[in-house]
Structure 1
Amino acid sequence: MEVLNHILLIDADDASNLITRIMLKKASVAEHIHTTRNGEEAITLLSHTNIVFPDLILLEINMPVMDGFEFLSYWKKNNFTGKSRIVIYTYSARTEDISYMCQYKDVVGYLEKPINNTQITKLINLVHNHSNYTQDSNTDIQRIYL
C-alpha cells in the first residue's frame, strides 16, 4: 500500500481522534497525521503559508465552533477545491446530511466510525485511485464499504 504524505483529521471527539490516529499510525499509511477539533482550527492550520495541503481530510459533520457543513462552505468559497480529497468520517447516519456534503467536488466518500483495517486500506486506495469507490444505489452516495 502506498503511503500518503499528510492526513488531516477534523473531529471534536477526543476518544475517536485517539483511536483513529492509533489505527492510521499502526497501518503506516501516512508520513504526517494532524488533528484539529473543529473546522475553524483546520482552516487556521491550512492557512499557514508553509503547510502543504493534506492528501486526505477525514471530516466529522457534527462539531462545535465550525461544523463540517461550514468547513466545506469555507473550503469552496476560498478556492481550496482540488487541493485535498475529503471523506466524511462520522457516527451520523443522516442520509440528507451526507447527500448534501457529497455534492462538494472534493468529497469523495463517506465512512462510518470507528475505523478498521479494511476501511483504512479502501480509504488509501480511494485517495490514490478515485475510481475505487462503490456507489450506494439506494441513496446515490459514494461510500467506502467494509
Structure 2
Amino acid sequence: MVRRVFRLAFIVLAALPLMAFRMPDSGEAREKLLYDVRGAFVTARPDVPRALVIATDMLVDEAIRATVRATMLPRTIIAVRIDRASHMPLLIGSRHEATVTVQAISVSSGEPIAEGTFKTSVFLLDAEEADRQLAERIADRIAGEFRLDGPRRPTIANALFP
C-alpha cells in the first residue's frame, strides 16, 4: 500500500514540470525573426582568399534574387564579414574552415537590427575547389537562416532521404 502511494506521488511529481511546458504557436515565434532581405555585401580581411569572398557574394546574391515574399516584412540588407579563413592539411585531404559574422541592417533607418556569428567547415580531398565549396557552405547557412530561396546544393541527407 505504501509502495502504491509512493509510486503515485512520484508520477505526479514527475508530471508537474511537463504540464507547465507549452509549445509556442508554429508561426508566432518564427515570423518575428524573418526579414525581407533586399541586398547583401560580403567583406573580408586581406588574408582571406579573394575567390572565397567573390563566390560567397555571388551565391548569397543569387539566393536573395530568387526569394519572393508573400507578406510584408521588415526590409533589410545583410552585411557578411568573413572574419577568418583557414585550412588544416590532414593525412588524407584537408579541412577548410571559416568564421563568418552576419549583420542585418534596416533599410528604413540604417540601424543594425540583428547580428550573429557562425563557423563552417568543409573536408576536401582535393583543395582546388576549396574556396568554392566553403563559399557554398557559407551561402547555404545564410540562406537557411534568412529563409532565402534559390538553388540548394545537394547534401548527403537529401540523397539518402528524398
- Say whether the fold is shared (TM-score over 0.5): no
Question: TM-score, normalization: structure 2?
Answer: 0.29
Larger radius of gyration: 2
Q: Quick check: which one's strand share is greater? A: 2
Question: TM-score, normalization: structure 1?
Answer: 0.32
